[in-house]
Structure 1
Amino acid sequence: MPQQKRNRWMGVAAALGAGALLSLSPAVVRAQNATLDDLLEKLKDKGVLSDDEYQSLKKAREEEQLEERDAHRRQAVKEAEQADAQAKAKEAEAKATKYDVNPGIKSLQLFGDVRLRYEARNATSTVPIAGISPATDAEGLDRWRYAVRVGIRGDLVDDWYYGLRLETGNNPRSTWATFGGNTTIQSANGGAGPSAKGGSAAIQLGQAYLGWRTTPWLSVQAGKMPNPLYTTPMVWDPDIAPEGIAERVNYKWGDHVELYANFMQMIYEEQAPDQTGNNVDLGFHKQDAWLYAWQLGGAYKFNQGTNVKAGLTYYQYQNRTNLNGFTGDGPPATTAAYFLSQNGINNLQILELPAEFNFPLFGFNARIFGDIAKNLDGGARAKAAGHNGVNEDSAYQIGVGYGNLGLVYGTVAKKGTWEVRTYWQRVEQFALDPNLTDSDFFEGRTNLQGVYLAGAYSFTDAIIGTLRWGYAQRINKQLGTGGSNPDLPGVNPVDDYRLLQVDLTWKF
């Protein structure tokens, strides 16, 4: 290699080496571009670099400068995004509610509702109403009411789950309190002034239960629990939370068939003391009243939104069924014996068959539903009441719902949705347990038949407005209307019954 060319490339190497040293120093990064450009210019002027070499190196340098600027820009954007994310995270952490949950709790859901209601109900009878002077054969209630239910539920570790709920109301079939209902300034004994606390507005324990999912298809729960049975208000008031033990089986067979079985052992009434005498032992005694329920059922899914469901339930009562013999007859009295005769659980062996068919209709959900029940011991129950040969031992319900199904009962809420629902119901005198039936429709009584109409609209995802109306008449004019309810307890028999309810509900 000629000496001149060798010297030229040695100069280029020296220049590039200087540039490399400069690039290693962060303190001179901003001066690096100008320095290298000056070096290349001087090397060209001294003849170390030819013009072609100079242009080639300059072009490469310019491309390198562009890449460096892009890299700096990307780095700056990344750092800005990271700083913004950190600032937002700190802000969210500062706003977040801080609480500590026991590690044994896997999940916790707050649920409940606050409800306001205007209600008017009235009933007429063929006999004077007990406790009212001067004598009259009609009684009505016109009142403003409120109810609160607040609870938590969720999963525990190792497939356990739980539920707790507090609520207003001391009636097992109602969580409602009445505006002014605890005011007693006009009573003979004086008492509480306007807007007094306590009474039906006092907070009660509505639910308290534990459950265990023993397998994917079997769960067992115990305590004061939501009703584990598939049923309707014809047989069970929705507010009742059975106390006892329940086992639930659910098995899916393919994509279309679902089989289920529900079993319940409900402590109906505690007997205290259980034993007396000289030989009282320790253990499980047999004096308490129990209600056993066995339910088998299934559902079939035809396609998305179209399905059918049904279940057959057998109810058996054990112990104390020979006490408080049911008659259901009036005229009413204010004695304990009369009220016991309205609520007796003797001679009850009930079969129930609720069912429903769900399908889409004109872009909304539709449901045809019904319930059939028969007391297999109804003849003996009628005979014990002094009505031998009377076969008033059956109950029926048939109805339709349309729209956002469940909105009328407040089980769902979505802004702008609505539901309309209606049913016809007939409950004969000796067909059902009058302590369990819906206390609103129709007054928790037997020997009544009538119609129920309801509509609901969801103003927001949490606020629901609901209108309900019902009308019922006595079936057998030779019999009373069994059952007692704190709303109109002195009316028996009920000849005509009307109920209007207008609700505003906040559901959460």
Structure 2
Amino acid sequence: MRVIRLASIFQAGLLLAGAVMAAAPAMAQDGILDGAADADAAPVSRWSWFGDLLVRYDHVQGLSNDRTVSRWRGRGRVGAEFAAMPELSFGAAIELAQGSDHNADNRINNDNERSDGGNLDQFWLRWQPAEQTRVLLGKAPLPLELSPLTWDADLRPAGVSLDQSFALGDYSRLQLVVGGFAAQHLYDDDTRLAAAQLAWRWREGAPTNAAVLLSYLDFSDLDQLTRQGLTRTNRRRPANGPLLSDYRLVDLQLVGRSAIGDWPLEARLDLVRNLGADDQRDGARFSLVLGSRLRPGGWEFGYSNQRIQRDAVLAAFNEDDWWFHSFTHGFMPWIGYGLDERWNLRLAAFREQRDGLPRHTDRVLIDLAARW
């Protein structure tokens, strides 16, 4: 049965990629893809498409009761964007997923997405009334720049946001993003998120640049999340009652980027405090990345280390590549390689220890990914 489901994952991924690649010539002939026709012979198309594909092997050991997890998971997204006018565009995407495990395992495996199924991944309107002003309405990636400590980038909340920038000289800017969202986790989640981020981006686009990002995340309406058993390692009141703490996070990120020869280098420090908790409310994450697997033939070497107290973050919404979402400490080295301009590989290892447990939990992820 596992062999059959594994074959289905690869078949779904190849069919998805094949459909996109097969459609490209026809789209180019019709002028749908950017650059499909000579610019002097035909107007630039107002249609563009995007997508990504991930095939992952996941192995976890060192869990309670000597449980071991070994599974394959596949996910593909395909979407299109239509530029109705220079100031207004629309986008939509679908997501399909299949795994060698079952959706019934997603709670116990601390997953943020179902192993099997399909959904509307994105459906949005973007209005840009001025060069440095952008309004986003609908279901889309969260428009704030956050690290895995506080948010899983695979989640797609629905809401409205305003992104306003202010130029500071020729290369620097001040950016303010504010918004309100329905977080839309699993099982008809009712969680609401009010978010704001103030970012100072110094020498943006230069070989050496930096950024300081201060964010505020206010999660509310957590009753359904709690009833569905998605509180994970966050504390609850006695007798399986509501969450003990509120979740009003203040997050500070310090980012520096430079290069060693032709190798890009990024260092990031992320510090978070939950103002809604009386104690066990702090978390920290450090990461260092050399190179980029998104370049053809490019190597990437990375390392991250994080420590999260029990109520420092809302454990339903931060990165699920880490097995434990709070009440834990651990580190993660990884290596990646860019096969070409679209395809890349990554091997990542995790060594984590949940507070109060006597032994470590080890996890290995092997990813084959593509972007269009």
What range describes the TM-score normalised by the shorter chain of this pair? 0.7 to 0.9
**1:144-171, CA deviations, whole angstroms, 9 ceiling, x for partnerless residues?**
22211111125221511222111124xx
1:428 to 309, 318, 324: 309
- In 2, distance between residues paired with 1:320 and 1:465? 37
Identity %: 21
User: Which structure carries more helix by proportion?
Assistant: 1
**1:234-269, CA deviations, whole angstroms, 9 ceiling, x for partnerless residues?**
100111111111111122222132110111201247
In structure 2, the CA distance between the partners of 1:502 and 1:324, relative to structure 1 (3 Å rule), is closer
Report the counterpart of residue 117 of structure 1 in structure 2.
Answer: 56
CA contact (8 A) 1:378 1:393 kept: yes
- In 2, distance between residues paired with 1:96 and 1:474? 52
Aligned length: 320
Please report the TM-score for the alignment, with normalisation by the length of structure 2.
Answer: 0.77
Q: Which moved more, 1:199-208 or 1:137-146?
A: 199-208
Matched, 1:230 2:145: yes
- In 2, distance between residues paired with 1:355 and 1:167? 33
1:353 to 223, 236, 252: 252
Matched, 1:415 2:296: yes
2:94 to 166, 191, 212: 166
The structure with the largest alpha-carbon Rg is: 1
- In 2, distance between residues paired with 1:289 and 1:465? 34
Report the counterpart of residue 82 of structure 1 in structure 2.
Answer: none
CA contact (8 A) 2:77 2:96 kept: yes
**1:201-245, CA deviations, whole angstroms, 9 ceiling, x for partnerless residues?**
332111111111121111111111111001101100111111111
List gaps (5 residues or longer) in structure 2.
1-24, 34-43, 104-113
In structure 2, the CA distance between the partners of 1:320 and 1:465, relative to structure 1 (3 Å rule), is closer
In structure 2, the CA distance between the partners of 1:456 and 1:375, relative to structure 1 (3 Å rule), is same
Pairwise CA distance, 1:122: 2.6
Matched, 1:466 2:346: yes
Matched, 1:241 2:156: yes
Report the counterpart of residue 212 of structure 2 in structure 1.
Answer: 310
In structure 2, the CA distance between the partners of 1:200 and 1:354, relative to structure 1 (3 Å rule), is same
Pairwise CA distance, 1:313: 0.8
CA contact (8 A) 2:91 2:123 kept: yes
Pairwise CA distance, 1:374: 0.1
Pairwise CA distance, 1:496: 2.7
2:366 to 502, 505, 508: 502
1:91-490 equivalences in 2 (<5 Å): 97-98=29-30, 107-125=46-64, 137-157=65-85, 159-169=87-97, 177-179=98-100, 181=102, 200-268=115-183, 289-301=191-203, 304-319=206-221, 324=226, 328=233, 338=240, 344=243, 346-379=245-278, 391-404=279-292, 407=293, 413-443=294-324, 445-475=325-355, 477=356
List gaps (5 residues or longer) in structure 1.
1-92, 126-136, 170-176, 183-198, 271-287, 331-336, 380-390, 408-412, 478-492
- In 2, distance between residues paired with 1:232 and 1:100? 35
Pairwise CA distance, 1:324: 4.4
- In 1, distance between residues paired with 2:130 and 2:28? 37
- In 2, distance between residues paired with 1:435 and 1:255? 40
Pairwise CA distance, 1:354: 1.7
**1:455-484, CA deviations, whole angstroms, 9 ceiling, x for partnerless residues?**
111122222111111111123x2xxxxxxx
- In 2, distance between residues paired with 1:347 and 1:473? 25
Pairwise CA distance, 1:96: 5.7
Task: Give the partner amino acid of 2:257.
Answer: N
Pairwise CA distance, 1:327: 8.8
**1:325-366, CA deviations, whole angstroms, 9 ceiling, x for partnerless residues?**
979479xxxxxx85x76xx48512210012210011133111
- In 1, distance between residues paired with 2:353 and 2:184? 31
In structure 2, the CA distance between the partners of 1:261 and 1:350, relative to structure 1 (3 Å rule), is same
User: Helix, strand or coil for the counterpart of 2:321?
Assistant: coil
CA contact (8 A) 2:220 2:247 kept: no
- In 2, distance between residues paired with 1:311 and 1:454? 25
User: Which structure carries more strand by proportion?
Assistant: 2
**1:124-154, CA deviations, whole angstroms, 9 ceiling, x for partnerless residues?**
33xxxxxxxxxxx221111222211111125
Report the counterpart of residue 40 of structure 1 in structure 2.
Answer: none
Report the counterpart of residue 482 of structure 1 in structure 2.
Answer: none
User: Helix, strand or coil for the counterpart of 1:378?
Assistant: coil
CA contact (8 A) 1:106 1:154 kept: no
In structure 2, the CA distance between the partners of 1:150 and 1:269, relative to structure 1 (3 Å rule), is closer
In structure 2, the CA distance between the partners of 1:303 and 1:119, relative to structure 1 (3 Å rule), is closer
Pairwise CA distance, 1:416: 1.0
Task: Give the partner amino acid of 2:273.
Answer: K
Task: Give the partner amino acid of 1:367.
Answer: E
In structure 2, the CA distance between the partners of 1:138 and 1:180, relative to structure 1 (3 Å rule), is closer
CA contact (8 A) 1:314 1:349 kept: yes
- In 2, distance between residues paired with 1:323 and 1:364? 43
**Root-mean-square deviation (Å):** 3.3
In structure 2, the CA distance between the partners of 1:301 and 1:429, relative to structure 1 (3 Å rule), is same
Task: Give the partner amino acid of 1:392.
Answer: Q
- In 1, distance between residues paired with 2:336 and 2:323? 20
- In 1, distance between residues paired with 2:153 and 2:244? 20
Pairwise CA distance, 1:95: 11
Please report the TM-score for the alignment, with normalisation by the length of structure 1.
Answer: 0.57
- In 1, distance between residues paired with 2:255 and 2:216? 19
CA contact (8 A) 1:321 1:345 kept: no
